[in-house]
């Protein structure tokens, strides 16, 4: 019986070790990637609605797939001819940690959570009670009532506009971020419910006493 030369055995062992090391390096790179900013809601029901538009023309984009994505799967819908969408999530587990993503074959994917990650490096808090919103960011405080707006400047020098929209029973507090991107959060069932919203580069955490409504407007760039 012929035996493989010793140098061939050593070469095979070296290749096997290199393969294992490469695999471990790939795992380390995978798990060391920064975690995308996520939403977190303490309720078991939320209604998502809004509009998707072209970032340059402002024209509505139909047939955009809108995802509320969690580790348990996707809840999704598509925009209509006017770029509008609406969907409901009624599972507490799906709302613990999720992303809001917009996808279309002709446009670059838009992740609203990533927009927040680009803007915030420090904590910002909004408290909503009895149709009053208080925004706190470092030493800056904004007190907003129905249909009022205000601006703060972040540590990075970016200006963020806040506004309160009141229509019929809706009382929504919102952020106007990069051009065309907006997010408004409010109560779904009771305009007098209390909300607390904490924002940083990793999370948008919403604590509410009743189910909530989230309105997200996204501006997408063509590929």
| Same-domain status, 14 and 118 | no
Q: What average pLDDT is seen over the chain?
A: 84
For residues 55 and 153, which has the higher predicted lDDT (pLDDT)? 55
Q: Are residues 3 and 59 in the same domain?
A: no
- In 3-state terms the chain splits into helix, strand, coil percentages (rounded to 5) of 15, 50, 35
In whole angstroms, give the CA distance from residue 159 to residue 64.
29
**Distance between CA 61 and CA 176 in Å, rounded?**
20
Q: For the segment 136-174, what is each residue's pLDDT rounded down to a tens digit?
A: 988 889 999 988 999 988 877 888 889 988 876 678 888
195 near 185, Cβ under 8 Å? yes
Residues spanned by the domain of 23? 1-33
Tell me how far apart the alpha carbons of residues 218 and 77 are, in angstroms, rounded to a whole number. Answer: 15
pLDDT digits (tens, 9 = 90+) for 169-214: 678 888 887 778 999 998 877 656 789 999 887 789 999 988 999 9
Q: Considering the chain, what percentage of its residues have pLDDT values greater than 90?
A: 49
Q: pLDDT band at residue 22, thresholds of 50, 70 and 90? A: low
- CA-based nearest residue to 115, from 37, 47, 3, 196: 37
Distance CA 61, CA 109 (A): 13
Cβ(159)–Cβ(174) under 8 Å?
no
pTM: 0.80
DSSP 8-state code for residue 199: E
Q: What is the CATH number of the domain that holds 78?
A: 2.60.40.1120
Is there a single domain that holds both residue 112 and residue 138? yes
Percent of the chain with pLDDT over 70: 81
| In a shared domain, residues 79 and 6 | no
């Amino acid at each position: 019986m012929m035996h493989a030369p010793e140098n061939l055995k050593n070469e095979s062992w070296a290749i096997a070790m290199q393969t294992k090391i490469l695999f471990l390096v790939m795992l380390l790179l995978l798990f060391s990637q920064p975690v995308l900013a996520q939403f977190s809601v303490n309720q078991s029901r939320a209604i998502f609605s809004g509009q998707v538009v072209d970032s340059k023309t402002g024209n509505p984009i139909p047939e955009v797939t809108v995802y509320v994505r969690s580790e348990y799967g996707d809840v999704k819908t598509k925009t209509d001819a006017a770029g509008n969408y609406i969907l409901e999530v009624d599972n507490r587990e799906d709302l613990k940690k999720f992303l809001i993503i917009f996808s279309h074959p002709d446009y670059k994917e838009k992740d609203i959570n990533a927009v927040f990650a680009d803007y915030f490096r420090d904590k910002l808090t909004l408290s909503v009670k009895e149709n009053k919103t208080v925004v706190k960011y470092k030493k800056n405080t904004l007190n907003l009532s129905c249909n009022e707006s205000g601006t703060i400047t972040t540590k990075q020098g970016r200006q963020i506009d806040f506004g309160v929209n009141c229509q019929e029973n809706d009382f929504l507090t919102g952020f106007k971020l990069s051009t065309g991107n907006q997010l408004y959060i409010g109560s779904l069932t009771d305009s007098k419910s209390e909300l607390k919203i904490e924002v940083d580069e990793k999370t948008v955490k919403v604590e509410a006493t009743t189910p909530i409504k989230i309105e997200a407007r996204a501006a997408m760039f063509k590929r």
